[in-house]
Chains A and B, each alone.
Chain A
Amino acid sequence: MTAGTGLAAADELALREYVRNWIGEHLTPEFFPAALARLDTDERVEVRRRWERELLDGELLASSWPVEHGGQGLEPWQEVVIEEELGLAGAPDLINLIGFRLAGPVLLDVGRDEQKEHFLPRILSGDDIWCQGFSEPGAGSDLASLQASAVDHGDHYVVNGQKVWTSWAMHAQKCLLLARTDRDVPKHQGITAFAVDMDTPGIDVRPVRQITGESEFCEVFFDGVAVPRDRIIGVPGQGWEIARLTLLYERGSNFVYLAGVERTFRGLVARLRARPEPPAGDVITRLVAAQVELAALQATARSYLDRLTAGTADPTEASLIKLGWTELDVAIKDLALEVAGTAAVVRAPGAEPSAELHEMLASRAETIYGGTSEIQRNLIAERLLGLPKGG
């Protein structure tokens, strides 16, 4: 099977084989994390753009988008198979993750035809990288209490407020923005979603330095920013529904990340195998616990995928996988750093940190973004287990 010959008709084995072969030919060393780590931020963006172009040419990106909008029309499970294989192979993250995995699918679901025709090709061409203007200093886990305002001025809205934890905002051309357009209705009903051009006057992007020393997240300030009325996604007041849809798609990315956890685990085991001496007792205990947890998570993910394909899945099940992979990833990367020893926490002047150190530090964002572990636990307790709503 080759690209263009109908991936949609492929069964799982054939699809996996195609993806693996494709990866073997296209995932060249320039895309490996170690090579990316040596580049400055702008260069890294360019290499990731090239990677996205490769994926598109191989029909492995936007693959569940409809054919008429440039996708392959694949089933959700087929997209998951592709993402699992990419995760296992250690493929780099997308630079336009939000465009391809969140904004694009949201526009396909609720965007007007002219919005789809305008925005989707620009995502596919790489012209528009998207960021996501959701969280605010006072509205993190409690997203519905967001305060950024968009005031109706007839043919346009004027946006004022501050967003935070906006990934890659400094490289983005578009922002999927949530703002409050009506303060007289319950908080969930007064929010509207907009597609905002990031070069509009009044937008100020300030990178936030994080634990890794990098600045992938930003604060974004909106000061009297004029947004045309036709940039409303859906209808006024539909913002909360769109936010929930977006978070659902975000949690759908769990499969690629779970595959990444398996890759990290395999790498750690391989390094320990290569050593002449057996690991310390507590390393064995933690490693075996991680193996058990990983196997259980993979079984859970597989069963969720089956129900997703059958149309019987409860969306909250995605929280099980999100909670599971993020907590497990932190535990494995913590162990990997310990096993690597003192040398891994040191770098020569000018050199990049060790992979183990960078990965451990970076992993600490995982149990926070996309809904913290505490939020996931509450969702699971209330919606999957039917427990009384707690504090």
Chain B
Amino acid sequence: MTSIEAVREHADLRASAAAFAGDRYTGLAGDWDREQTMLSGEERLALARTGFLGMGLPEEYGGGGATLVESLIVIEEIAKVSQIPAFAVFEANTGPARVVELFGTEEQKQRWLPRIIEGTATMAVAISEPHAGSAATDITTRGVIADGKVVINGQKRWTSGAGHAELYLVYLRLSDERGARSIGAVVVESDAPGLTFGNQERLMGFHGIGSADIFLDDVTVPVEDVLIPAGGFKDLFSTFSIERLGNATMSLAIGQACLDRSAAYVQERHQFGKPIAEFQLVQEALADMVIQVDAARLLIRRAAEGAGRGTPAPLEASIAKCFANEMAKKVSDLALQVHGGYGYAEEYGIERMVRDSHGWALGGGTPAIQRTRIVAEYLGRSFDQRR
């Protein structure tokens, strides 16, 4: 495909995703946020029918075989209207399902990917623990392998979709070695005996995406469900980079939606006898929003184009995530200010985006962690954060 054809196809894809999201979610987004409504099974099936849900997963399992750029376009357009359905597309195309695709055995892919693509299962990722957040290799959840089975004990925290998803990609220690060398991952079904969930957390944003503690009490799974054996953790950074671009795109959607709404508002809203867009200080705010959103878009695009259907360069992904997360906080804050009291009130939906913008900066490696990654990649060395 020539680059011109690609641009045209991307424009068509963007328009199609935007039309679908606009028609289906515009009237629901505010209510879902207020009521903290999780995406229903029916809505997930509707997403699957469009082909968006598994578009970035391989065609042989029912997916669309799309590039990362294409998946991110769809995630952005849906997230601009509502982050709740966009989260399902994010999980399937840039989250744990990609780990299954890139690291799973053929048998594992056959078992899990079609369910995700058809919209009958969501796979959530369980890494963080009460005492292992940014320091992910501090996790203590343990899996003991014996007699063809893995017996898992531990507690997970900040698992988005916990209690709602059907499948959990649980990171855990599979041997006694210290640090990353013993860390692997196992897939656990939601109805596995011994798997229980804490109360749904009430978060600042991410209403309807949800988060809860996960308790694993002698949860037993067949050894065939080990997706990443001990020591495979270091290879996972490549898939973390995919997820970071998905995360960055959710932030981009917030920034772009805030910019779009602000651009319309400053031309509609009249004060002192003219549209407020005529005032220099409003122009300055809007110009900053345009610059920030455009820069984030280009950084994400650069990293995603380099990935094709594979994985992005970690440096580019970290730069994009760090910038986009901070952009969304700044731009949504500017949108609130430009909208005045209406930005502060629920009705206009700007305050929802302000609240959501903070979540993306906390999940998937904070901007502070990304900065450490950026310097490490840039200087070609690692920094021990424990000394």
Partners in one complex: yes
Q: How far is the CA of A138 from the CA of B275 in the complex (A)?
A: 12
The interface-forming segment of B39-47, B72-80, B354-362 is B354-362
Interface membership of chain B positions 241-285, coded 1 if the CB is closer than 8 angstroms to chain A and 0 otherwise: 000000000000000000000000000001111001011111001
A173 within 8 A of B: no
The interface-forming segment of B49-57, B63-71, B200-208 is B200-208
On chain B, the residues within 8 Å of A368 by CB distance are: 337, 340-341, 343-344
Please judge, given known A-B contacts A364-B333, A374-B279, whether A347 and B341 are in contact too, CB under 8 Å: no
Q: How far is the CA of A210 from the CA of B200 in the complex (A)?
A: 23
Q: In the complex, how many angstroms separate the beta carbon of A45 from the nearest chain B beta carbon? A: 21
Q: How far is the CA of A164 from the CA of B348 in the complex (A)?
A: 14
Cβ-defined contact, A210 with B345, below 8 A: yes
Partner of B346, one of A209, A347, A369, A374: A209
Cβ-defined contact, B343 with A282, below 8 A: no
Q: In the complex, how many angstroms separate the beta carbon of A10 from the nearest chain B beta carbon? A: 40
A206-247 at interface with B (beta carbon < 8 Å): 208-211, 217
A357 within 8 A of B: yes
On chain A, the residues within 8 Å of B232 by CB distance are: none
Cβ-defined contact, A217 with B203, below 8 A: no
Q: How far is the CA of A365 from the CA of B333 in the complex (A)?
A: 11
Cβ-defined contact, A391 with B279, below 8 A: yes
Cβ-defined contact, B368 with A165, below 8 A: no
Cβ-defined contact, A377 with B281, below 8 A: yes
B211 within 8 A of A: yes
Cβ-defined contact, A141 with B271, below 8 A: yes
A161 within 8 A of B: no
Cβ-defined contact, B345 with A367, below 8 A: no
Cβ-defined contact, B362 with A345, below 8 A: yes
On chain B, the residues within 8 Å of A386 by CB distance are: none
Please judge, given known A-B contacts A211-B355, A372-B340, whether A349 and B199 are in contact too, CB under 8 Å: yes
Count of CB-CB pairs between chains A and B under 8 Å: 104
Cβ-defined contact, B271 with A346, below 8 A: no
Q: How many residues of B contact A (CB 8 A)?
A: 39
| Nearest CB in chain B to that of A344: its residue | B204
On chain B, the residues within 8 Å of A367 by CB distance are: 337
On chain B, the residues within 8 Å of A298 by CB distance are: none
Cβ-defined contact, A364 with B336, below 8 A: yes
Q: In the complex, how many angstroms separate the beta carbon of A24 from the nearest chain B beta carbon? A: 35
Cβ-defined contact, A349 with B202, below 8 A: yes
Cβ-defined contact, A347 with B354, below 8 A: no
Q: How far is the CA of A209 from the CA of B200 in the complex (A)?
A: 23
B299-346 at interface with A (beta carbon < 8 Å): 333, 336-337, 340-341, 343-346
| Nearest CB in chain B to that of A345: its residue | B204
Cβ-defined contact, B346 with A211, below 8 A: yes
Partner of A391, one of B278, B340, B341, B343: B278
Partner of B281, one of A345, A346, A347, A374: A374
Interface core residue of B276, B281, B354 (most chain A CB under 10 Å): B281
Q: How far is the CA of A280 from the CA of B367 in the complex (A)?
A: 11
Interface core residue of A135, A165, A351 (most chain B CB under 10 Å): A165
A279-312 at interface with B (beta carbon < 8 Å): 280, 282
List residues of B whose CB falls within 8 A of some A CB.
Answer: 34, 133, 158, 199-205, 211, 270-273, 276, 278-282, 285, 333, 336-337, 340-341, 343-347, 351, 354-355, 358-359, 362, 368
Besides A142-B272, A145-B273, A208-B345, 15 more A-B contacts (Cβ < 8 Å) are A135-B341, A164-B341, A165-B341, A209-B345, A210-B346, A211-B344, A211-B345, A211-B355, A346-B201, A346-B211, A348-B199, A357-B204, A361-B355, A368-B344, A377-B281
- Closest 4 pairs (CB-CB, A-B): A142-B271, A211-B351, A345-B204, A374-B281
**30 pairs from A and B in contact (CB 8 Å cutoff):** A141-B272, A141-B276, A141-B340, A142-B273, A145-B272, A165-B341, A208-B346, A209-B347, A210-B345, A210-B351, A211-B345, A211-B346, A211-B355, A217-B344, A345-B205, A345-B358, A345-B359, A346-B204, A347-B201, A357-B204, A364-B333, A364-B343, A364-B351, A367-B337, A368-B340, A368-B341, A374-B281, A374-B337, A378-B279, A391-B279
